[in-house]
Each structure stands twice: as C-alpha cells, then as structure tokens.
Amino acid sequence: EILTDTLGDTRDYAFLSGPSFAKEIASGLATAVVIASESDELAKEAAEMFSSDSFRAFTSRDVEGVEIGGAVKNVIAIAAGMVEGLGLGTNALAGLVTRGCVEMQLLARTRGASPSTLMGLSGVGDTFGTCFGPLSRNRQLGYRLGQGEKLEDILASSTEVAEGYATALSLVDFIEQRVPQSFRMDLKFP
C-alpha cells in the first residue's frame, strides 16, 4: 500500500519474502523464497533474475498473504524466544508456533488473502526459520525478554533491528481497528 500510495498504481510491484537469512545466502547455502506480485510476468521475470544453483525463487499472486506472513512471523518469533528464555519446553514452543500459524491464517482470511499461502515458504517456512533459527533477531529479542532483561535495555544494546517489536504494536492496533470481531483480545497472561 505504501508503494502504491507513494509511486502510484501505474506500475507493477513485486515483493520478496520467505525463509532467508542474509548470512546464509552470502555463504551460498541453499535458500528458497517467494516473489509475490499481482503481475505474473513481473514475478516470473524477478524469479528468473534472482534464482541460481543455491537460491530458488518461487512465485505467488497473493501479495497480501505473503506480506502477512512476512510480518506476523516476527511477532510469533518473539513469543517463541520468550518460551525458550523462560524454559517452558518444547511442547509449549511447538504449541505456540502452531497456534501462531493458525492465527496468521485467520488474519489472512479476514484480509482476503489465501490461507494456503501461509502454508508455504512465506508462511510456515518463514515462521519456522524465524522461530527456530539461531540467526533470528526476533527470536533473540524474545529469548532475552524471557531471561528477564528489560525491553529498553535489549533495544539499547542491540546492533540489529528486531522488526517484530514494532510489528507487534502495529498488529494490535490493526486487529483492534479492522478486525476486532475475529480475535480474542480479552486474554490476560500472568
């Protein structure tokens, strides 16, 4: 929406998303991502341009679904890191990530996106990488919170951005304003 508002709707746009850590890409490790565009031609052209022996780009027309997956997985990863930092175990971690993926699909459905998009690379693939990967900034933020550090101290000492922090705040506002009937906002946690 920002690109269209800023640059207009007379051109096509493509968006790259998926389970990918820059360090692994730079090391030539196998990576698969999604390029989403409403233009099949642009998506195919971008996928061909980016793809190599170790980097494969798939295409999707579901821009909204890919964007939802790319944003919400960071929030889930913070929560996953907190579960790990609190020492709540693998059962709790698996339950949290699984339910987070279900909630991501529900959000996609309310926005007119395809829930099946969230079962692919830009949904569960990206979520798994971000929730379980040692390079995940968002998981690390959650882990440190779970260990008892204060958010302000973590943010002040971090050299990288954990975008899930700002996304979490935006997501709450978005859900309250645009889809309040669809989500349980009354839950309280100890």
Which member of 23, 44, 73, 150 is catalytic? 73
Q: What's the per-residue H, E or C state across the chain?
A: CHHHHHHCCCCCCCEEECCCCHHHHHCCCCEEEEEECCCHHHHHHHHHHHCCCCEEEEEECCHHHHHHHHHHHHHHHHHHHHHHHCCCHHHHHHHHHHHHHHHHHHHHHHCCCCHHHHHCHHHHHHHHHHHHCCCCHHHHHHHHHHCCCCHHHHHHHCCCCCCHHHHHHHHHHHHHHHCHHHCCCCCCCC
Residues 6+ apart with CB under 8 A from 39: 12, 13, 14
Would residue 73 show up in a list of annotated catalytic residues for this protein?
yes
Catalytic residues: 73
